[in-house]
Amino acid sequence: MKHLSANSNARFRSTVLHAMAFGVILSILPRFVFADESNRRVLVRDVTSVEGVRDNMLVGYGLVVGLRGTGDRQQTIFTVQTLANAMQKMGVLISPSTVVVKNVAAVFITASLPAFARPGSKMDVTISSIGDAQSLEGGVLLMSALYGPDGQVYAEAQGALVMGGYSSGTGANRKDVNAANVGMIPQGALVERDTSVDLSGFKTVSLLLHNPDFSTAVEIANVVNKEFNKPVANAIDNSRVDINVDSASSQTVTMLISRVQNLVLSVHTPAKIVINERTGTIVMGGDVKLSPVSVIHGNLSIQVVTQYVAVGATPVGGLGQPGAGGGSGQAGPGGGRGGLETLQPIVVPQESLNTTDTAAQSMRLDEGANVDELVKGLHAIGTTAHDVVAILQAIRAEGGMQAELEVQ
């Protein structure tokens, strides 16, 4: 057996340790890469919807009764008229001009009708006051029809309201928590008309992208074609992908849609910055790329102050008034009575100008800088949210930012 020297043993151990370390790095690296990629991978169902399968908006008008004196006041005429009409249907005739009630409020009812809702299905409704009612707390909605955009009745709503706030007290002792004029009725509407979509007649399933993008549309088509091992999908444009039902050879359209919606794809989010100048809110994506750029920021404040200063006094009249001679007392000019003179101060405006010019703050972004570095740099030079808006617009105009800038 050949014996190794001390140096050979050291080199051997060093080689083994390097190999083990390299192996550990290789074993860890794929997991990090996969974790980074998994953050960008989503299901088709998360980025698309099926054309023709959508919710429908419903709206209705009704009365909420049973309030504790917090309903509409007498000047809300339509509430009393609606109450009179409802009472007439019950066989009771009343005059709207003589009715005074405070436990009734006129409301609008809104709901969203699901795509495959059938008669007997239930859905939530939202109740909103349209008069001057103080609160809808404790109220009950009378049966009200919900209409679709075509004017047809699709559901009926009725039930006790669930409030997310309350209002109590009067005047200075009044306390309002959240919104006391808006409530909801869970499962408070009953569907009366069938609005389900017949999927069996679909020859083409069209997927509509939530965020139109050509790369994402092509990626969806490629993923679907790879799943079926033949060209069954085609990207029509940046917002639509068509799938041929006959070519997919699926048992039903429902199974086809389910199979497609559970496919995984990589989404390429566009570089975009959204700015709301009213609130000073700025949202920047991590894909925004920045070129080398320098930013110099400073504040110049000019303040003009006007003060009124007394510079002297002038005599004003006496107790007597000039007049014809012959009067009693001391004679003044023209024969009138004389008196003590008063001094009235003379006030003149004086203006002062104050200027404050702070030292300009500067920052520089090198090649490959990201959004996090930009935000930290802007905060470091003492910029406000509105300053950041102007700086971002200037960087975009200079060409140092490769991103779409949307100002709301």
User: What does the buried/exposed string (b/e) look like for 260-278 if buried means 16 or more CB atoms within 10 Å of the residue's CB?
Assistant: beeeebebeeeeebebeee
Closest CA to 250 of 241, 240, 238, 258: 258
pLDDT band of 111, cuts 50, 70, 90: very high
CB atoms within 10 A of CB 3: 6
pLDDT band of 31, cuts 50, 70, 90: very low
pLDDT at 358 over 70: no
Q: Report the distance separating Cα 234 and Cα 240, nearest Å.
A: 9
Q: What is the pLDDT of residues 113-145, one digit of tens each?
A: 998 889 999 999 999 999 888 889 889 999 999
Average pLDDT over residues 339-355: 66
Q: What is the pLDDT of residues 385-408, one digit of tens each?
A: 777 777 777 777 777 777 777 777
**pLDDT at residue 234 in the model:** 94
pLDDT band of 218, cuts 50, 70, 90: very high
Listed in sequence order, the residues at least 6 apart from 396 whose beta carbon sits closer than 8 Å to its beta carbon are 273, 403, 405
Token digits of residue 242: 């068509």
**pLDDT at residue 326 in the model:** 46
Question: Which strand (E) or helix (H) includes residue 216?
Answer: helix 214-228
Q: What is the pLDDT of residues 235-264, one digit of tens each?
A: 999 999 999 998 888 888 999 999 999 999
Report for 84-88, 158-162, 290-294: range of highest mean pLDDT: 158-162
Q: Report the distance separating Cα 62 and Cα 337, nearest Å.
A: 84
pLDDT at 328 over 70: no
Beta bridge partners, 353, equal 304
Enumerate the domain spans of the chain.
56-164+178-191, 199-266, 273-300+358-407
Q: What is the pLDDT of residues 144-196, one digit of tens each?
A: 999 999 999 999 999 999 987 666 666 556 666 667 889 999 999 999 998 88
Q: Report the distance separating Cα 223 and Cα 205, nearest Å.
A: 15
